[in-house]
Each structure stands twice: as structure tokens, then as C-alpha cells.
Amino acid sequence: MLTLKYIQDNQEEIISRLKTKRFDAKEVVANIVAADNDRKATQTQADQKQNELNTLSRSIGQLFKSGKKEEANEAREKTTGLKEEIRNLNANLSEIEKKIQGLLVQVPNIPHPSVPEGKGEEDNEVVKEGGEVPTLQEALPHWDLAAKYDLIDFELGTKLTGAGFPVYKGWGAKLQRALINFFLDEATKAGYNEVLPPLLVNEDSGFGTGQLPDKEGQMYHVTEDNLYLIPTAEVPVTNIFRDVVLDEKDLPVKQCAYSACFRREAGSWGAHVRGLNRLHQFDKVEIVQVANPENSYEVLEQMVAHAQSLVEKLELPWRILRLCGGDLSFTSALTYDFEVYSAAQERWLEVSSVSNFETYQANRLKLRYKKPGEKKPLLAHTLNGSALALPRIVAAILENNQTPDGIKVPKVLVPFMGTEIIK
């Protein structure tokens, strides 16, 4: 979230820039400023009363020593009243601070100046593309290919759990494992340290990365333990650094993780969400960096280049989109989406988002770094990206590589699969 000081010092800029996200911040910013002014006034009153109490308390002993017993008792009675006033002021202060916190989490992150105007995904800007779209005769969609080669059983998943929880079988399961290993190996080569995080997180972790209180409805909640199934490994991996102060020389910190991801988001019907196009549970490799604010946008470009290298090595047609303000997430300052083209479905499928959150998550996490010679730590920048999400990558591989003899395995996956073709 934005810091209170930043909001106080940049009210008009915040209101203006958040219009790009199609968010009217005027009222909430005014409420924050008013509440903060109320907090300052209440704190001043409490400090004045405390000083008065301290002075009076010191005088009581002197009055008794001087034989002024009546005056000493009057002073003692007055201290009782002051203590009650201070308790009430501190209680008010606590309520005001809760109110400010509740208002602060309502303000989205400020979009980067390069974020284009726009209402939704139709206004996203294509910044780069590559690869060749294959020409296929009578191409089958991946759900038919999965049935033909016994790779994925959607009905069995529905039986075991429900819609959106497929069962991968045989070569389908091996393709999943091959992609996970390939993505992790590539991340390791790029300098990311692999971690294997928990699949459930507490409320503090959900708050730290911005899933709570914004996205409760999209997360699976274990009510008895008050834990949440992770929607992405970004949540536990970024929270590793909650309440941590890093040395500037150690930045950037680079982490990667494979995890299952759980989302309650599926809801519409049709071919665009059929099969692997939208799931409640799916696998993903995530890359996360904690960076110095001075070069975090260079880091973002490096992360984008890493995701690009993956789709290129998988020989898939791809494009990169810069998200417009209307499609940008609540917490992101700048996001690039990756899409691969499905020749069978004849449409683009999103497979990755790479984002810079600047200090927005770091302020929630209290994630800071210290410059040499400086006493006060500074907020770091956090970034993350999918590298990559598996379902639509699998869909594109199956659909684009289908032949009369079977499905060709991308060359980079052959060592992991042990075959060049799935029959």
C-alpha cells in the first residue's frame, strides 16, 4: 500500500494518476488526510496531558516534603483525572489508526507513467511478438487431443473433486513434470534460488502481497485453521521477506518456486474456458525478485526477457502486452502479459504476467533494505512473474504440434520426456 506520508505529500498527483486505473481516489484520499490530521491532533492532546501528568506527579513528593499535605492530595486527585483522560485519548488514537489503516488498503498502487489508458484487455498494448503460427489441417483442440492420446481426464477430475481439477495421465503427466523441471532449470541458470514453499498461508501473508482484503472471494479458505490455499507461489515466496531488513549489497534477491495454485475464479462457460483454458488447480513456476528501487525497472525487463526465452525455446508463437490502466491489477505499477497462440482454437492464450509492484507490497510487508552509512532503512521494490503457468502452455504445445503421427515434443523437452513424439 502507499505510505501515509506519500499520500499526505502527493494528494493531487495520486488522484490524477489513479484515473489511469479508472479509480476515483478523491474521496478516499480526502478521508485519509482528514483522519491523519485527527490522529495528529489527538496525539498532541495525549502528549500534552502526559506531560502535565508527569509534571504533577513529580510535584506531589515535593509538596508532601514541604508539609503541604492538602495541596499534595489535590494534586493526586488531579492525576487520577488526567490518567483517565489519557486512557480515553489513547483509545481514540487506536480507533483513528485502525480507521486510517482501513482507508489505506482501499487505495490502489500508482500506475507507472508508461501504462497506457484503456478500459480493459481490449486496450492492452502489444509491445513485441515472435514465433511462427503453424498451418494445420483439421486441427483438434487440446481437450480432444487429450482424450485421443489419453493424456488428461477431465471427467475423472470432476468425479474426484469437481470441475476445474483435471487428472493428468501417462504422457500428459510426464509432460507436466518435464515442463516444471525445464522451467526450474532455466530459472536456476538465470541465477534464481529455488525454494519449495507451503501451499497454505496465513492472513498476514495474504495481506502482505495484497490478496487480502481484496481477493478473499477468489481464494480457497480453510475456515477452521483460518488458512488460505495459495493462488500463486508469489504469496509465500515474497512473504519470506516480511519484516526483514536486507543489506543493499545483497540486492537483488532472486527466488523461484514451483507450486500448485488454487483459484475459485472459474465461472463462465464456452470454448474459451473449456479444458485447460481455466482451472481451479494448476501448476506454475514463479520467479520473484526483491530489488533496489534505483534499478527495479531494469530488473523488470530482465524478468520479461527470461519469460520470453522460455516461450521461444518451446517454439511457440508469442506476444507481449503492456497492460492498460483498466486491466492493471490493484497492486501492480506495471505489468507485461505473455500470450501464446493456439492454432487449433485460433486465439491467444495468456501464460504469464510479469509485474513491478514498486514499494506497494514492501510497505505492507515491512520489507526494507539498508544503505551503507544510513541509519534509516528504505522500502525495497518487489517484482514477480510466471515463468511459466502450465495449463495453456500444455494446450498450445498439444494443439500446435499435432501431426498425423502424434504430437511432436518440443526439442528442449525431449531430454525430460525421453521421447520425441507422443503417440
Residue 353 labeled ligand binder: yes
Q: CA 269, CA 271: separation in Å to the nearest integer? A: 7
What is the dihedral sign for C-alpha 369, 372, 374, 375?
A: positive
Those residues whose C-beta lies under 8 Å from the C-beta of residue 311, and which sit 6 or more positions away, are 131, 318, 338, 340, 351, 388
Residue 135 labeled ligand binder: no
Residue 286 labeled ligand binder: yes
Burial class (CB in 10 A: 0-12, 13-18, 19+), 68: middle
Cα R_g (the chain), whole angstroms = 28
Residue 52 labeled ligand binder: no
Residue type present at position 87: R
Residue 87 labeled ligand binder: no
- DSSP letter (8 states) at residue 110: P
Residue 322 labeled ligand binder: no
CB 335 within 8 A of CB 354: yes
Residue 265 labeled ligand binder: yes
Residue 329 labeled ligand binder: no
Residue 39 labeled ligand binder: no
Those residues whose C-beta lies under 8 Å from the C-beta of residue 265, and which sit 6 or more positions away, are 218, 278, 280
Residue 384 labeled ligand binder: yes
Q: CA 165, CA 163: separation in Å to the nearest integer? A: 6
Annotated binding-site ranges for ATP: 263-265, 350-353
Annotated binding-site ranges: 232, 263-265, 286, 350-353, 384
Annotated binding-site ranges for L-serine: 232, 263, 286, 384
